[in-house]
Amino acid sequence: NAGVTQTPKFQVLKTGQSMTLQCAQDMNHEYMSWYRQDPGMGLRLIHYSVGAGITDQGEVPNGYNVSRSTTEDFPLRLLSAAPSQTSVYFCASRRLAGGRNTGELFFGEGSRLTVL
């Protein structure tokens, strides 16, 4: 069972470089999201999507871009990396409704990004 797959697991960037964090899920989940985790801050929502073609901003969207062209994929783009974007990034997905759905999030393994 693949679940939620994130790549890469580790990345080092220089200030100003761009990159894309990939996220794919094989559970047909409508909802997908990106979080960043910083020490003492918990998980903060960057962007989310409730279906293909629909995205919206979370708590900390600045400097990040997303798109959702398919149900399975939800890439996160850093347009011009800054040291403040050094963090651990998690992609998470869940079903929106139906059955005995408790709506818990299924997480990827995380991507550790360092911006020098």
Interface residue with other proteins among 1, 28, 62, 102 (CB under 8 A) is: 102
Interface residue with other proteins among 23, 60, 78, 92 (CB under 8 A) is: 92
For the chain, the three-class secondary structure string (H helix, E strand, C coil) is: CCCEEEECCEEEECCCCCEEEEEEECCCCCEEEEEEEECCCEEEEEEEEEECCEEEECCCCCCEEECCCCCCECCEEECCCCHHHCEEEEEEEECCCCCCCCCCCEECCCEEEEEC
Residue numbers 16-45 binding other proteins by CB under 8 A:
31, 33, 35, 40-45
**Smallest gap from residue 108 Cβ to other proteins (A):** 8
**Smallest gap from residue 110 Cβ to other proteins (A):** 5
Q: Which residues bind other proteins (CB under 8 A)?
A: 31, 33, 35, 40-45, 48, 50, 58, 88, 90, 92, 96, 102-107, 109-110
